[in-house]
Amino acid sequence: MTAARSLTTVAELVDAGLVSEAGRAGATAVADRYAVAITPALVPLIDRNDPHDPIARQFVPDAAELVTLPEERADPIGDLAHSPVEGIVHRYPDRVLLKAVHVCPVYCRFCFRREMVGPEGLGTLSAKALDAAIAYVAERPEIWEVILTGGDPLVLSPRRLQAILERLAAIAHVKIVRFHTRVPVVDPARVDAALIAALKASGKTTYVALHANHPREFTAEASAAIGRIVDAGLVMISQTVLLKGVNDDAAVLADLMRTFVENRIKPYYLHHPDLAPGTAHFRLTLAEGRALVEGLRGRVSGLCQPAYILDIPGGHGKVRADSTAVEEAGDGCFRVRDFRGKTHAYPPGEEQA
């Protein structure tokens, strides 16, 4: 059965057979705390007879989310510590995140920004805040790349998106625009001519990073939407979160990376799951993640190799999780060197919480 609109309440999930009566109370407690949305395109992909369905696991609320561990934090990658003006995150010298909207077409149960996104999240930038964010970029010639993320920027209407992109077009030192989105797989019909025209409106070299975590997300409709983007001259790269019970399997990971490449998307990031609240049931250890990534090397084409990335908790930036910058320190702990040469414990100790 294909739903006509997104499922956003536990009652709708129960009606659709995605949450059992026994699971209703737990799912309700989760939905009271974190946003829920499953798009019509995803609903038919879920096998209700499989209690371990990898699509359901990503989107259907689970009582395990009610358990928050001491090392988990509301802002696991430290966006707020690097936000000089509302809507901008400036963590690295040559690039900024521009978070114009904190709404998504789906709400991932493992989301690293789960305390910021959703109907009750940080919302959409006001016209005044957007002016200040654009001015921040315009005044800093070192900003070479602007990454539109959120939330999912592709939920904005093409008209609003185009208006933002046209303002970036006027900033000569910005050479690259990048979008981070799940829309091509979770709501492929949204990728129409108007949206593609908006994505191209800056006139800059434009990348679209698609977030997908399991090969089954690539339906014929999703592949067609991706094809429309690539045919329009935009470069596509991937990002995937390594998730227990979804893709922590060498064959599934290999299949996923090959599926990206077959769809003309270059695998880019494989993220180690962040310390977001209530997500312990998704997290592998770094040692487990390294073994899985090692399993890809040599066995699948070089085109299919993503960079395995740890976002150092606290906003210290990304590091290759399988590089010498991440060293075992015993008892499942690691020493992680950030891009400035400073060392941090992972998992972080209480002093860094």
Picking from 303, 321, 304, the residue whose alpha carbon sits closest to that of residue 312 is 321
- Binding part of the chain for ligand SF4, among 44-52, 79-87, 106-114, 343-351 by CB under 6 A, reads 106-114
Orientation angle between helical segments 127-138 and 158-169, nearest 10 degrees: 30
Would you state the structure tokens that stand for residue 125, as one six-digit string? 């930038």
Would you state the structure tokens that stand for residue 342, as one six-digit string? 């400073």
CB of 182 or CB of 316, closer to ligand SF4: 182
- Binding part of the chain for ligand SF4, among 60-68, 101-109, 257-265, 297-305 by CB under 6 A, reads 101-109
By the rule CB under 6 A, 104 interacts with ligand SF4: yes
Interface pick for ligand SF4 out of 36, 89, 111, 236 (rule CB under 6 A)? 111
x/- track of binding to ligand SF4 for residues 10-49 (CB under 6 A): ----------------------------------------
- Binding part of the chain for ligand SF4, among 73-81, 92-100, 108-116, 217-225 by CB under 6 A, reads 108-116
Minimum separation from the CB atom of position 114 to ligand SF4 (A)? 6
Q: Give me the active site residues, please.
A: 91-92, 95, 104, 108, 111, 113, 274, 311, 318
CB of 182 or CB of 283, closer to ligand SF4: 182
**Please, are residues 137 and 96 in contact by the beta-carbon 8 Å criterion?**
yes
By the rule CB under 6 A, 55 interacts with ligand SF4: no
What is the 3-state secondary structure of 195-261?
A: HHHHHCCCCCEEEEEEECCCHHHCCHHHHHHHHHHHHCCCEEEEEEECCCCCCCCHHHHHHHHHHHH
Would you state the structure tokens that stand for residue 126, as one six-digit string? 């006001």
Stretch (H or E) spanning 133: helix 127-138
Picking from 227, 224, 173, the residue whose alpha carbon sits closest to that of residue 202 is 173
By the rule CB under 6 A, 147 interacts with ligand SF4: no
Instruction: Give the binding site for ligand SF4 (CB under 6 A).
Output: 104, 107-108, 111, 113, 117, 151-152, 182, 211
